[in-house]
Each structure stands twice: as structure tokens, then as C-alpha cells.
């Protein structure tokens, strides 16, 4: 399968714990995006990378969230001191090129904070 993969697919954690998610984009894609989706909503942009550079981060994103893409391939999204409001589906997508082109989404990581 050469699509976008995400790990884990499901994560249950207690409030206050840190969690880290991984995304492996399509191999030749230089752009990688993170979104959050809650029930009844569209994907909400969190941040994106072009190669290893993080070019934009949502102003609504808490400083408890951090993302990396150290070698311009896979990316990690870490949430520190999780809160119940962080419960959501975290989607990763990738695309090729310089603009906001067709994005290929992964299956997502569903986070539940208890």
C-alpha cells in the first residue's frame, strides 16, 4: 500500500498524559499536513510542512501541540498534557508540489482522552 499511513489508529489516554502520533506520507510528496476532525465538522487545519520546514501553524493551536518532520519524510504530532477537549480524529495528509494541491489523507488516529 503506497498511501498515507498513520500510527496508532486508536489511542485512549488519561487527561494530563502526553501522546505522540506518527504519519508516513506518500514517498514522493514534499508537503505534509495535520488536521483535526470532530464529529459533524470538516477537517480543521493544524499545521503543515514543506519538506522538513514547518511553514504554518494554526493560530488556534495550543502550545501544547507540537509537530516535527525532521528528515522531510515521516512526521510526528505530540500533544502534551492532554485535555478532554483534545478528543478527536487526527488526520494527516500529503501532497506534491508548491501550492495547495490535491491532498491524500491517511486513515487518521482517533484520540480519546478520559
Partner 1 sequence: GQQVMQIPQYQHVQEGEDFTTYCNSSTTLSNIQWYKQRPGGHPVFLIQLVKSGEVKKQKRLTFQFGEAKKNSSLHITATQTTDVGTYFCAGHKAGTALIFGKGTTLSVSS
Which of 30, 58, 73, 80 binds partner 1 (CB under 8 A)? It is 58
Compute the distance between CA of residue 83 and CA of residue 19 in angstroms, rounded to an integer: 11
To partner 1, the closest distance from the beta carbon of 93 in angstroms equals 8
Decide if residue 23 touches partner 1 (CB under 8 A): no
The answer to whether the CB of 84 falls within 8 A of the CB of 101 is: no
Decide if residue 41 touches partner 1 (CB under 8 A): yes
Which of 82, 87, 103, 109 binds partner 1 (CB under 8 A)? It is 103
Decide if residue 101 touches partner 1 (CB under 8 A): yes
77 vs 20, 55, 59, 68, CA distance in Å? 6, 15, 16, 7
The answer to whether the CB of 88 falls within 8 A of the CB of 38 is: yes
Residues that bind partner 1 (CB under 8 A): 33, 35, 40-45, 48, 56, 58, 91, 93, 100-108
Amino acid at each position: 500500500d503506497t498511501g498515507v499511513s498513520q500510527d496508532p489508529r486508536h489511542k485512549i489516554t488519561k487527561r494530563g498524559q502526553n501522546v505522540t502520533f506518527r504519519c508516513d506520507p506518500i514517498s514522493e510528496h514534499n508537503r505534509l499536513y495535520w488536521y483535526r476532525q470532530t464529529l459533524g465538522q470538516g477537517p480543521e487545519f493544524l499545521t503543515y510542512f514543506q519538506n522538513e520546514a514547518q511553514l504554518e501553524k494554526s493560530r488556534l493551536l495550543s502550545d501544547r501541540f507540537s509537530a516535527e518532520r525532521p528528515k522531510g519524510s515521516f512526521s510526528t504530532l505530540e500533544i502534551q498534557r492532554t485535555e478532554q477537549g483534545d478528543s478527536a480524529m487526527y488526520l494527516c495528509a500529503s501532497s506534491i508540489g508548491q501550492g495547495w494541491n490535491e491532498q491524500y489523507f491517511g486513515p487518521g488516529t482517533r484520540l480519546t482522552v478520559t
